[in-house]
Amino acid sequence: MERMEMVSSANLGGAQTVDRALALLSAVGRGGVAGVTLGDLVAQSGLNKPTVRRLLLALMRGGMVEQNPDTRRYFLGEEAYILGTFAAQRHGILEHSSAVLARLARETGDAAFISVRQGYSALCLHREEGSYPIRTHALMAGQLHPLGVGAGSLAMLAALPDAEVEAALEANAAQLAGSYAALPPDLIREHVRVTRQNGHALNPGLLYPDSWGLGLALRWPDGALAGALSLAAIESRMQRPRRDDLLSRLRAGAAEIEKSLARLYALRRGTSDRRTA
């Protein structure tokens, strides 16, 4: 009995180490082209410096992380890039939306975004900047928000079943209360209801007074949530009738992306069928 408990404890410790290393890898990735410092990672992880350094060395040995010898900042490594190219073949929503994002930003002058669900959060994969000189305080690529916070994030939350909506609100309760006090769960529930009713999400300056957004959920052919397409602009550029025009362009872009995802889905299914035949 004592031996079994020791093995279980060892397994738990090993799993914890893996979890911590993966969390650090994710934090390094979100540092983007600017990279992150050791101090950044210590602060974000809540781990002590020796532990973070030890885990980073392990990730560096595996090629998942690299360090600039001059700035001492950490970046994703070559192996992470290679794995990312493999993952893109299966989760390539950014590849299938890049042309739409560029067109939306060019035609509207506003910022266009593609986001995906990550657990009970929304992750912005890409921000395509428009030409309008006044920028909104909208999210940037790599940023995470709780589901329901922001237009694209709200569109994804509203696309989920009620049980998942409640699970997300419960999981994010502390973060909403601490960092998004203006968005209590009951208000997010009401926005989910309105989003479902209207068929699109509207963020009327809920995070920043002069930063408005429109969002649409994207789905795979089987109905599963694929992500969200959204636009952000200052308040004066989101009033009707311009908002209706933006929504029309957003719907056309979403339909184009979903059509492209349907071809990818069919290709996957065909590959899977051949493997099991």
**pLDDT attached to residue 31:** 85
Tally the domains of the chain: 2
One domain, residues 56 and 128? no
Cα 226 versus chain centre, distance: 11
One domain, residues 249 and 138? yes
φ/ψ bin of 205: left (φ > 0), alpha (ψ from -120 to 50), beta (otherwise): left
The rounded distance, in Å, linking the Cα atoms of 269 and 249 is: 30
**In-domain check, residue 276:** no
Q: What is the pLDDT along the chain (277 residues), one digit of tens a residue?
A: 333 333 344 444 678 889 999 999 989 988 878 899 999 999 999 999 999 999 999 999 999 999 999 999 999 998 887 777 656 545 578 888 999 999 999 999 999 999 999 889 998 989 999 999 888 877 888 888 999 999 999 999 999 999 999 999 999 999 999 999 999 999 999 999 999 999 999 999 998 888 999 999 999 999 999 999 999 999 999 999 999 999 999 999 999 999 999 987 776 665 444 444 4
One domain, residues 11 and 102? no
At residue 105, φ and ψ (nearest 5 deg) are -65, -40
**pLDDT attached to residue 94:** 85
CATH of the domain at 236: 3.30.450.40
> Global pTM?
0.70
One domain, residues 245 and 112? yes
Q: Give CA angle at 262 (261, 263), nearest 5°.
A: 90
**pLDDT attached to residue 276:** 44
One domain, residues 21 and 49? yes
One domain, residues 9 and 106? no
**In-domain check, residue 192:** yes
CATH of the domain at 23: 1.10.10.10
One domain, residues 262 and 139? yes
**pLDDT attached to residue 268:** 61
One domain, residues 95 and 140? yes
Its domain, for residue 58, covers 2-82
**pLDDT attached to residue 1:** 37
Q: Which pair of tokens denotes residue 100?
A: 């739409």
One domain, residues 47 and 115? no
